[in-house]
Amino acid sequence: MSPLPLLGFAIAFAIAGVCTALALEAGSTPLTVVTVRTLGTLALFLAWFRIAGVSLAVPRRERAIALAIGLPLCVNNYFLNAAIELIPLPLVVLIFYLWPALTAAASWALGKEPFRWRTAAGLALAFAGVALALDAEFTAAQTLGVWFAVGGAVMWTVTFLLTGHFFQGRDTRPATFYMVLTAGAVFTAVCLATRAVELPQGALGWSGMAGAAFFYALAMIGLFVATSRLGPTRTGFFMNFEPVASLLLSALILGQALGPVQLAGAALVIGALFLFRPPPA
């Protein structure tokens, strides 16, 4: 597989974030958007699995574990959508990409990975970059958005570590489906219980709602295909382009441009990502 499709998958993740922001700007809510996106992703997963001949039949214990891991994934999805409503998308993505640093720190603490100076340098750069990116005056609501983004990064780290622990070396497609199924069930139940559903207004808002589900599912499917062909290390290397794509697309489509100091912080975060994974062979 050439680098071009891999970059396309990273861009698809970035477009999903932009579409989420468009739906929120058009009057929808984080809960509504994440529910529609999750249910749409499940439908597209089912269609793709059927075409690809992927069986969802897994042992009962593994299915139960995957469904349970769906809970931190659920929290991650909601927190990131809530953050996008409150602070600019580029900041949300940059804060979210603290997760490789958090994963490295957790791996050291749990004794799963040996200490490496290269990774330690990545940790320092990532946190310094986010500190620079947050060099701005925030309202109380924006501060809450920052904490939502941090919480999203933490919950994704938990999801990533648990998935690696229980499904390392396995085909993670069925497990991922059951994780997303948990999230979809939780979001749907909350929507039904609270009736807090706010649909977007206008064609642009509806395009954002539909695009969030389509591009997120497309990116996830592409990630599965690339990982199976190239392995997680080489695939992850190219996924580092997502923050760059988010910065560019947010400026072009949403008008959310970062200041010079924040851009310097973004450069540090993006540079740090390449210290966590070796370049492709």
Q: If you search the block for the tokens 């690696």, which residue do you land on?
A: 164
Per-residue confidence (pLDDT) for residue 101, from 0 to 100: 83
Per-residue confidence (pLDDT) for residue 196, from 0 to 100: 84
Render pLDDT for 63-92 as a digit per residue (tens, 0 to 9).
Answer: 999 999 999 999 999 999 999 999 999 999
Tokens representing residue 241 in the block: 């382009």
State the sign of the Cα–Cα–Cα–Cα dihedral 247, 251, 252, 253.
Answer: positive
Determine the Cα–Cα distance for residues 21 and 72; give it in Å rounded to an integer.
22
For the CA atoms of 48, 49, 51, 57, what is the dihedral angle to 10 degrees?
A: -170
- Neighbouring residues of 72: CB distance < 8 A, sequence distance ≥ 6: 155, 156, 158, 159, 162
Render pLDDT for 153-187 as a digit per residue (tens, 0 to 9).
Answer: 999 999 988 988 888 777 888 999 999 999 999 99
Determine the Cα–Cα distance for residues 96 and 94; give it in Å rounded to an integer.
5
Tokens representing residue 93 in the block: 């993505």
Q: What is the DSSP string of 231-279?
A: -HHHHHHHHTHHHHHHHHHIIIII--PPPHHHHHHHHHHHHHHHHHSPP
- What is the model's pTM? 0.89
Degrees to nearest 5, angle at CA 39 with 64 and 70: 25
Q: How far is CA 217 from the centre of its chain?
A: 12
Render pLDDT for 260-278 as a digit per residue (tens, 0 to 9).
Answer: 888 888 888 888 777 766 5
Angstrom distances, CA of residue 140 to CA of 144, 147, 148, 258: 6, 11, 12, 19
Q: If you search the block for the tokens 């597209």, which residue do you land on?
A: 44
Which 8-state DSSP code applies to residue 88? -
Residues of the chain short of pLDDT 70, as ranges, are 1-4, 227-238, 276-281
Per-domain boundaries in the chain: 3-276
Strand ranges in 103-234 using DSSP code E only, listed in sequence order = none
Per-residue confidence (pLDDT) for residue 234, from 0 to 100: 63
Tokens representing residue 53 in the block: 């001949």
Tokens representing residue 200 in the block: 């977007």
At 143, is the secondary structure helix, strand, or coil?
helix
